[in-house]
Structure 1
Amino acid sequence: MNGVIHRYERVFQRSTFARFGAVGLLIVYGTLISTIALSPTFQWTGSALSDLGAVGADRSWLFNGGLIVGGAFLSLFAFGVFSNSEHWGKQVGSVLLTLAYVLSVFVGLFPYPQPQHTPIALAQFVLIPVGLLTFGVESVLRGASGLGGIALALGTIAVAGNLWLFSVVSAGSEAIALPEFAVVFPLDSWAMVMVWRQYHGKSAQ
């Protein structure tokens, strides 16, 4: 009887955390799309994503608010993945991805050009590929080749995004929106996959 109760408690927890993830993704991308639509000067090939939330920007409150609120929901979701993981590699990977989402909140709290903004963003960009690759390797080693392959592919894309970002910045350009997105979107793609799995009763074990 206790085993049955424990099982249903875990299912309830997974579904609750999955809702956190779904709400967080809707908030982040809803506010991102809205801010871009309301910011005529923003260009994917000529701006940085942080320009949307920069101090003094017309819709900075919308962009930064989305990062803060959406990032908080996604942090809870990623922590839920950690709490439902039984293997250390997935636990380490999900903790790193949880921290990456926590840093999203701080990116919104300290918008560009505040001095805290850049180191926070850089730390997030490092955590994303490391977390995804760690989660992916452990998943493959534990026999979840499909989930592991997705995480590894997303981690590789995030690494490539970081290299692209480094090359653009090294060339003296501030047009970093696309490479920034190439780093952060794999994290959100992982969240989408995990939300879908949890809604369908699959654990992160």
Structure 2
Amino acid sequence: MNATDSRRLARRCGIVAPLLALGAVFLATLLAAPETFTWRERALSDMGRYGTRTFWLFNGGLVVAGLVGVPFWVHLLAAGRNRLERLGAVLLAVAVFGMVGVGVFFLGHTAFYLERELHFPAALTLFVVAPIAQWTYGTGAILEGDAGLGLVSLWTGNAHLLGWAGWLLSRRAGGDPWAWFAVSEAVAAIAFGSWILVLAGPTQFDDGRAGNRERDAAGRSEAATDAKPVDRTETR
């Protein structure tokens, strides 16, 4: 597989993975029984409890989406133009690892395997690391002069904060401290998935961008060579 084919595969995976994850989650909200999920009274993860009609759809969608996205993440890391973009790509992978963990360590998984409950740490990893990945990558993009991508990354990261702030404010107004928690989860999921779709856009994966990275790397290499001290000792 040549470089062009690899980029094409990575881009397709970057498009399919978030659509698959979001599609599975929101389809599950439509299929879930009222006692399993409501936007006001439940968390999204309640649809992944064993015995619910949405168990396989919800958990399977998250796990498969995470695996499908691996080629995209590998390309994004390799294509990073500076340390912040590469760090953002690594943090993106950590957040996706948390998403996969939500599906693998579903609510009540201790009844089947592992004594330690790992669902909450997995969900926390996803929701905490995802916006940090977006802010980090966005800052790196801005430093490279890519203001459009940088601002999209920063503001989709900010959307997480707005969603959680809305939930905290609703807690003060309502009697149930967990009311509408699923809405904030959905806002975060949409913000993260939308950002990945932007990263997988054609402008991020075209041959011209790849060529520019290669030329930049070559230019840095030549500059480093020119900066080396020259031995002016004459041979007699």
- Given that 2:47 and 2:58 are in contact with CA atoms closer than 8 Å, whether structure 1 keeps it comes out as yes
Equivalence for 2:229: none
SS at 2:38 equivalent: coil
SS at 1:46 equivalent: coil
CA distance in 1, matches of 2:97, 2:70: 6
- Out of 31, 54, 60, the position equivalent to 2:55 is 60
Identity percentage of aligned residues: 29
Max radius of gyration: which structure? 2
- Out of 171, 175, 181, the position equivalent to 1:176 is 181
Comparing 102-111 and 192-201, the one that deviates more: 192-201
- Given that 1:75 and 1:101 are in contact with CA atoms closer than 8 Å, whether structure 2 keeps it comes out as no
Distance change in 2, residues 1:203/1:189 (3 Å): farther
Length-normalised TM-score, structure 2: 0.75
Name the structure, 1 or 2, with higher relative contact order (CA <8 Å, separation 6+).
1
Equivalence for 1:190: 195
Gaps of 5+ in 2: 110-116, 214-236
CA distance in 1, matches of 2:105, 2:208: 36
Q: Say yes or no: does 1:30 pair with 2:50.
A: no
CA RMSD across the alignment: 2.4
Equivalence for 1:88: 83
Length-normalised TM-score, structure 1: 0.85
CA distance in 1, matches of 2:208, 2:89: 16
Tell me by how many angstroms 1:91 deviates. 0.2
Equivalence for 2:234: none
Equivalence for 2:5: 12
Show the 5 A alignment for 1:1-205.
9-41=2-34, 42-114=37-109, 115-165=117-167, 172-197=177-202, 198=204, 200-201=206-207, 203=209
Distance change in 2, residues 1:183/1:30 (3 Å): closer
Q: Deviations over 1:159-194 (max 9, x none)?
A: 223444556678622531110112222211111111
CA distance in 2, matches of 1:199, 1:110: 34
Q: Deviations over 1:73-100 (max 9, x none)?
A: 1243223211111310000011101111
Equivalence for 1:5: none
Tell me by how many angstroms 1:112 deviates. 1.5
Corresponding letter in the other structure for 1:196? G
